[in-house]
Amino acid sequence: MHDIERRAFVKGAAMGALAFTVGGAEVLLTPAAARAQGVPLRTLTAAQAATLEALGETLVPGARQAGISHFVDQQLSIPAEEALLEARILNVRPPYANFYRAALGAIDRASQALNNGRPFVELSEAEQRSFVDNMRQNKVEGWQGPAGPFVYLVLRSDAVDVVYGTMDGYAALGIPYMPHIAPSKRW
């Protein structure tokens, strides 16, 4: 699709929901629905997505089921100017996939180095919490990658977005959403 036509598409029909590819066709889904339907990933590897899910769930309970990996994966597959990621606001330089790959790689490398070869996804919940707490404070030994506290900030924001930033997330907290223009599909 030509850039300008694509932009028009995004400004119009797809506004308020994300376009995922299912059976060769683009359909509008929430990330949670995309995960539930097993929509194939576009950008992340299965291992990266698993790390992101585990990390997201550690950061914000519910992020896994809310589809954090499908959200980030879909967002990394579209032009940066269409992206909804907090990374955009935090001055991450496009393409954003570079940052996510570096961040997820740093997490697994550090986890393996500190835990007898076990990647983050294989750690116990307590170990995952401890790892994240150290990452937050830039205290992970041998960390190599984007600064740990910044990785924490960006990925925590993604998890917050999918769990608490949606209309369903507001409803779960008992907060009236009160939109002027509501996102479609409550997302």
The Cα diameter of the chain in Å comes to 52
Does 5 contact other proteins by CB under 8 A?
A: no
Q: Is 89 in the site for other proteins (CB under 8 A)?
A: yes
Question: Is 139 an interacting residue with respect to other proteins (CB under 8 A)?
Answer: no
- Residue environment code for 72-96, b if the CB has 16+ CB neighbours within 10 A, otherwise e: bbbbbbbebeebebbbeeeebeeeb
Minimum distance from residue 63 beta carbon to other proteins (Å): 10
Helix, strand, or coil here: 65? coil
Say if CB 168 and CB 186 are below 8 A apart.
Answer: yes
Contact between 156 and other proteins per CB under 8 A:
yes
Contact pick of 85, 103, 104, 114 for other proteins (by CB under 8 A):
85
User: Rounded to 5 degrees, what are φ and ψ at 16?
Assistant: 95, 0
136 is a contact residue toward other proteins (CB under 8 A): yes
Q: Which of 11, 13, 40, 98 binds other proteins (CB under 8 A)?
A: 11
CB neighbours (10 Å) of residue 24? Answer: 5
Binding segment for other proteins among 98-106, 116-124, 138-146, 150-158 (CB under 8 A)? 150-158
- Closest-CA residue to 68 (of 102, 98, 92, 44): 44
Residues near other proteins (CB under 8 A) = 4, 7, 11, 15-16, 58-62, 79-86, 88-91, 93-94, 129, 132-133, 136, 152-153, 156-157, 160-161, 164-166, 169-170, 173-183
